[in-house]
Amino acid sequence: MRQIKKILCAVDFSDYSPRVAEYARLMAEKFDAEITVVYIAPSLNQYVGFHVPPSSIENFVGEIVSGAESTMDHFIEKNFKGLTVSGRVGTGYAAEEILQAALDDSADLIIIGTHGRKGIDRILFGSVAEKVVKGSLCPVLTVRPGDE
């Protein structure tokens, strides 16, 4: 059986993210693993053609990333005290960036939440978790929303 020494924990900073972090924490404690927490801000490059100056889009994305970095520090401090943890904030298409981060970090396990979207929401927004599961070279633990 493979060893789990590096865990990639993908979060979106929703109210549900601490539950995803809880699973990452449990696994890290069990296997004495290090955690990389990843948040991917949406890329707004697709809006360049909508009469919005590219510099405005870049500034907006910069503000999102700056705010996410601050949120990341707080999130790690609150959810992972006493563990070896690093945080990474990026931009782009979430599934692609999460998969790339897992490769870059040689992750042994990805932990990601699902939103349980159905119907038209699923068609419109797709499933980041599903794309990660299908594209990952390492095991993926998905955490569903719900009551404890």
Query: Can you give the CATH number for the domain in which 72 is found?
Result: 3.40.50.620
β-pairing, 109-113 vs 140-143, is parallel
As a residue count, the chain comes to: 148
Please indicate whether residue 30 or residue 119 has the higher confidence score (pLDDT): 30
> Which residues span the domain enclosing 28?
6-143
Given a cut of 60, is residue 113 above it in pLDDT? Answer: yes
Q: Does residue 1 lie within any of the structural domains?
A: no
Given a cut of 80, is residue 117 above it in pLDDT? Answer: no
Name 141's bridge partners: 111
Confidence of residue 144 (pLDDT cuts 50, 70, 90): confident
Domain count, the chain: 1
Q: Does residue 114 lie within any of the structural domains?
A: yes
Predicted TM-score (pTM) of this structure: 0.84
Mean pLDDT in residue range 5-26: 95
User: In whole angstroms, what is the distance from residue 139 CA to residue 79 CA?
Assistant: 22
Mean pLDDT in residue range 24-49: 86
Q: Does residue 10 lie within any of the structural domains?
A: yes
Q: Does residue 148 lie within any of the structural domains?
A: no
Residues 6 or more apart whose Cβ sits within 8 Å of residue 134: none
Residue with token string 């980041």: 128
User: In whole angstroms, what is the distance from residue 1 CA to residue 145 CA?
Assistant: 29
Q: Does residue 135 lie within any of the structural domains?
A: yes
Question: Judging by beta carbons within 10 Å of its beta carbon (0-12, 13-18, 19+), is residue 22 exposed, middle or buried?
Answer: middle
User: In whole angstroms, what is the distance from residue 92 CA to residue 98 CA?
Assistant: 10
Residue with token string 């790339």: 100
Q: Does residue 95 lie within any of the structural domains?
A: yes
Confidence of residue 122 (pLDDT cuts 50, 70, 90): low
pLDDT digits (tens, 9 = 90+) for 37-89: 999 987 766 555 555 555 665 666 667 777 788 899 999 999 999 999 999 99
Residues 6 or more apart whose Cβ sits within 8 Å of residue 47: 57
Q: Does residue 77 lie within any of the structural domains?
A: yes
